[in-house]
């Protein structure tokens, strides 16, 4: 029976892994690391969507989109690590292979990027996007305007000099194969989904040109497309050196029309919510929301690259271009089937361990879904540019931007829930539901460690709520939410974060991250209890099979 339980975890993203172990492998675990146990901390989820109403041509197009996504996966391997095939061929232990694939390299993404393969040291902050030995002095002296581009990598030539290479050159082979699949899918769908067919062609051309303005803008106009393909270099989380380089990823999804229609009313509320922000008027002077902004719900069939590395993304707010956001808005996409899996397998079991019994009934999927949704909507609130007009907030905060922005979205998401409930626009559940579910979800998220932007954001919020008495821990080791105190603490932290962003104060951002973006010893003990209880830390996917089901 024990062997069968372990065997379950050898299945990973459709890969058939050998069960034999080579004692002389060049892929030995660091002392004390148990690969089988590490894989056992993840629960496998089969990605399914109801495709019964789709034609054979549409299903074949989905296969082509998955083929394109696999090329994005190959590129991300190069960005995150580099020599994937060499590492995996040296590694004969199936569980080590599985864990390397899950983390896209020998560093544990949910444990502060600590190495788990003995032959490797600390992960370079710039991953494979910069030379590991690059100094800031070298970077500053480099006379190439493309060095700051989010779509270029830096490498050393044979003489040791640093050179800049555009993504279109560095990943030319993969991008050619990727776009070929996209063009084929566009041809297959032009009769049944012409709008999406046009988007695929535009996106493929933008990938080949290294400029995503045209396809990003067109993507925001689509509101009835059956499918979606988010693909390309998008988020900058992998670049912990300068926070500018973007990593490749892809999502292949099908629309959930019923859930999408339920959310449309909230977009119109954005201008009012911006006006009500708990901050001085100068920190909320930018206009937000317009007719192209969307809330959409999809079910995922395939994840690739950055979004598939370590913890799995459950919602996205795109595009990231601040100019497009101000002109056309964004689309906030909720990935319903992945959210449901995380709620069922982690949030609910965690609440039964760490939430006071009297409040456990307040942990609901509706509140979890809404909190995540309003987190994504909240990215559009506040300011994108510093109030002195000299820089964007992203430029001003540099490498600290992502964590501060994610924290702002967490806190303003709770602010939005509070405002909409009190106004009567949000009618499902109680404020206690949303607050208690949020705290339960924080416990889920901080198990990922505090190395990621989301992890740091969670810890800032958690530590602030704890300090203000919004959440309290009793002698039995369970937490209780004080609704009145939490409302006040949320508004207070929201004002601070909006001020840091508006002022463009990297010093204040760094101080907040250093003082509150950490896991304290008390919380660490509670997280250890979750480990002992056997609750999965996250999920991984059996995917790409065009599975149907509900």
pLDDT tens sequence across 494-522: 999 999 999 999 999 999 999 999 998 88
pLDDT of 382 strictly over 70: yes
The Cα–Cα gap between 156 and 145 comes to 17
Provide the number of structural domains found in the chain.
1
Contact in structure between 301 and 49 (CB atoms under 8 Å): yes
| Domain-located, residue 68 | no
The neighbouring-strand residues paired with 472 are 480
CA distances (Å), 486 to each of 4, 406, 469, 479, 499, in order?
46, 19, 8, 13, 20
For residue 377 the two structure tokens come to 């909507």
The Cα–Cα gap between 493 and 138 comes to 38
Which of 305, 328, 332, 335 shows the shortest CA–CA distance to 318?
332
CB-count exposure of residue 3 (10 Å: 0-12, 13-18, 19+)? exposed
Is the previous residue joined to 192 through a cis bond, with omega within 30 degrees of 0? Answer: no
> What are phi and psi for residue 42, nearest 5 degrees?
-110, 145
What is the arithmetic mean of pLDDT over 89-95? 91
β strands within 70-195, DSSP E: 107-108, 114-115, 152-156, 162-166
Contact in structure between 394 and 386 (CB atoms under 8 Å): no
| Domain-located, residue 63 | no
Q: How confident is the model at residue 206 (pLDDT cuts 50, 70, 90)?
A: very high
Q: How confident is the model at residue 289 (pLDDT cuts 50, 70, 90)?
A: low
Q: How confident is the model at residue 449 (pLDDT cuts 50, 70, 90)?
A: low
> Percent of the chain at pLDDT above 90?
74
**pLDDT value of position 442:** 93
| Domain-located, residue 125 | no
pLDDT of 450 strictly over 80: no
Rg (CA), the chain: 23
Q: How confident is the model at residue 293 (pLDDT cuts 50, 70, 90)?
A: confident
| Domain-located, residue 160 | no
**pLDDT value of position 241:** 94
- 10 Å Cβ neighbour count for 313? 18
**pLDDT value of position 258:** 78
What is the arithmetic mean of pLDDT over 325-333? 86
| Domain-located, residue 521 | yes
**pLDDT value of position 262:** 73
pLDDT tens sequence across 43-91: 999 999 989 999 999 999 999 999 999 999 999 999 999 889 999 998 9
Domain containing residue 354: 172-542
pLDDT of 189 strictly over 70: yes
| Domain-located, residue 219 | yes
- 10 Å Cβ neighbour count for 384? 17
| Domain-located, residue 390 | yes
Average pLDDT, the chain: 90
Which of 124, 129, 214 shows the shortest CA–CA distance to 167?
129
For residue 7 the two structure tokens come to 């065997």
What is the arithmetic mean of pLDDT over 220-243? 94
Q: How confident is the model at residue 344 (pLDDT cuts 50, 70, 90)?
A: very high
The Cα–Cα gap between 479 and 31 comes to 35
Contact in structure between 60 and 188 (CB atoms under 8 Å): yes
The Cα–Cα gap between 535 and 42 comes to 9
pLDDT tens sequence across 119-174: 999 999 999 999 999 998 999 999 999 999 999 999 999 999 999 999 999 999 99
What is the arithmetic mean of pLDDT over 398-426? 94
| Domain-located, residue 6 | no
The Cα–Cα gap between 151 and 172 comes to 13
**pLDDT value of position 483:** 97
Q: How confident is the model at residue 294 (pLDDT cuts 50, 70, 90)?
A: confident
Which of 446, 449, 455, 457 shows the shortest CA–CA distance to 509?
457
Element housing 253 (H / E): strand 247-255
Sign of torsion over alpha carbons 115, 118, 119, 121: positive
Q: How confident is the model at residue 260 (pLDDT cuts 50, 70, 90)?
A: confident
Q: What share of the chain is helix, strand, coil (3-state, %, to 5)?
A: 55, 15, 35
Instruction: Residue count of the chain, please give it.
Output: 550
For residue 154 the two structure tokens come to 């830096």
pLDDT of 7 strictly over 70: no
Question: Domain with 444 in it: what CATH number?
Answer: 3.30.540.30
pLDDT of 549 strictly over 60: no
The Cα–Cα gap between 330 and 338 comes to 21
What is the arithmetic mean of pLDDT over 350-374? 95
> Which of 251-255, 311-315, 362-366 is the least confident region?
311-315
**pLDDT value of position 188:** 97
Q: How confident is the model at residue 24 (pLDDT cuts 50, 70, 90)?
A: very low
């Amino acid at each position: 029976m024990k062997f069968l339980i372990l065997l379950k975890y050898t299945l990973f993203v459709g890969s058939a892994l050998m069960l034999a172990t080579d004692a002389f492998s060049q892929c030995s675990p660091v002392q004390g690391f148990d690969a089988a146990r590490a894989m056992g901390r993840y629960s496998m989820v089969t990605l399914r969507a109801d495709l019964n109403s789709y034609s054979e041509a549409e299903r074949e197009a989905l296969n082509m989109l998955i083929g394109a996504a696999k090329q994005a996966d190959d590129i991300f391997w190069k960005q995150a690590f580099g020599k994937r095939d060499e590492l995996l061929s040296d590694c004969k232990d199936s569980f080590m292979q599985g864990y390397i694939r899950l983390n896209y390299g020998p560093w544990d993404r949910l444990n502060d990027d600590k190495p788990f393969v003995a032959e490797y040291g600390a992960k370079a902050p710039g991953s494979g996007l910069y030379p590991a030995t690059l100094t800031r002095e070298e970077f500053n002296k480099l006379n190439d305007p493309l060095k700051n581009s989010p779509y270029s990598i830096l490498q050393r030539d044979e003489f040791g000099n640093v050179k800049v290479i555009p993504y279109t050159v560095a990943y030319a082979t993969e991008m050619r194969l990727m776009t070929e699949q996209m063009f084929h899918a566009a041809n297959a769908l032009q009769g049944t989904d012409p709008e999406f067919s046009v988007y695929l062609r535009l996106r493929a051309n933008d990938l080949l040109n290294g400029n995503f303005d045209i396809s990003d803008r067109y993507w925001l106009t689509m509101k009835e497309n059956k499918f979606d393909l988010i693909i390309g270099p998008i988020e900058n989380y992998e670049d912990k050196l300068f926070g500018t380089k973007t990593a490749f990823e892809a999502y292949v999804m099908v629309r959930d029309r019923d859930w999408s229609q339920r959310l449309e009313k909230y977009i119109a509320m954005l201008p009012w919510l911006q006006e009500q922000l708990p901050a001085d008027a100068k920190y909320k002077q930018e206009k937000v929301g317009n007719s192209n902004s969307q809330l959409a719900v999809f079910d995922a069939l395939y994840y690739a690259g950055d979004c598939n590395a370590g913890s799995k993304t459950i919602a996205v707010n795109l595009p990231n271009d601040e100019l497009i956001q101000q002109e056309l808005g964004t689309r906030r996409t909720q990935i319903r089937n992945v959210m449901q899996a995380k709620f069922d397998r982690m949030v609910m079991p965690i609440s039964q361990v760490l939430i006071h019994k009297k409040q456990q009934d307040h942990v609901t999927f509706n509140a979890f879904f809404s909190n995540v949704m309003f987190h994504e909507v909240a990215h559009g609130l506040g300011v994108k540019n510093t109030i002195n007009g000299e820089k964007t907030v992203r430029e001003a905060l540099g490498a600290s931007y992502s964590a501060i922005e994610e924290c702002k979205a967490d806190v303003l998401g709770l602010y939005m829930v509070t405002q909409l409930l009190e106004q009567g626009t949000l009618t499902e559940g109680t404020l206690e539901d949303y607050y208690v579910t949020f705290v339960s979800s924080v416990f889920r998220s901080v198990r990922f460690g505090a190395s990621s932007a989301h992890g740091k954001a969670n810890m800032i919020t958690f530590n602030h709520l704890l300090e203000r008495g919004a959440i309290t821990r009793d002698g039995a080791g369970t937490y209780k939410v004080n609704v009145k105190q939490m409302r006040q603490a949320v508004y207070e932290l929201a004002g601070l974060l909006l001020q840091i962003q508006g002022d463009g104060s990297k010093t204040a951002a760094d101080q907040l991250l250093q003082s509150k973006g950490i896991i304290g010893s008390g919380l660490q003990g509670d997280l250890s209890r979750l480990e002992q209880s056997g609750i999965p830390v996250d999920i991984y996917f059996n995917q790409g099979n065009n599975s149907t089901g509900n």
